[in-house]
Amino acid sequence: MRTSRPVYLNLLKIKLPVTAILSILHRITGVFMVLSIPLLVYLFEQSLQDPTSFQQLSVIMAHPVARFILALFVWFLAHHLMAGIRFLLMDIDVGVLKPSARASAYLVNYLGLVLLVAALFWAYLL
């Protein structure tokens, strides 16, 4: 359906509600994780093949950049999982009203960031 209504899509200027941020992150993290499935299956295969490939994989995973990506992935998983639980609870009518929905959105977003920091901490100190 095409109309000639004006469109404003400057994401940098639009102030999104916290619930919207949570929701789009839920989608983005989901898509990202699906896209990383082939790589993860490959890494899984490498980890099981023989001691040499396992060792090679360990060496690669010890690299700072790999550690960073790993921590990021942990954050993506954690955020997606927590946002998902929030949605599941809303399915059974828990936390549906606006104040609690906003509160739980803040909780998930910030808890996610806390977990990101924890993951980075762990990634670089283990």
Partner 1 sequence: MRSWILQRVSAIFIALFVLYLGGFLFLNLPLDYVTWKAWVGLTFNKVVIILFFISVFFHAWVGIRDVIIDYVHSVALRFILLTGVIGILVSMAVWLLIIVQGA
Contact residues for partner 1, defined by CB under 8 A: 27, 30-31, 33-34, 37-38, 41, 44-45, 47-48, 51, 54-55, 58, 77, 81, 84-85, 88, 91, 126
Q: Which is nearer to partner 1, 5 or 98 (CB)?
A: 5
Q: Which is nearer to partner 1, 6 or 38 (CB)?
A: 38
Give just the sign of the alpha carbon dihedral 19, 24, 4, 8: positive
Please report how close the Cβ of residue 23 comes to partner 1 at its closest, in angstroms: 12
Rg of the Cα atoms in the chain:
19
Nearest alpha-carbon partner for 77 in 126, 15, 34:
34
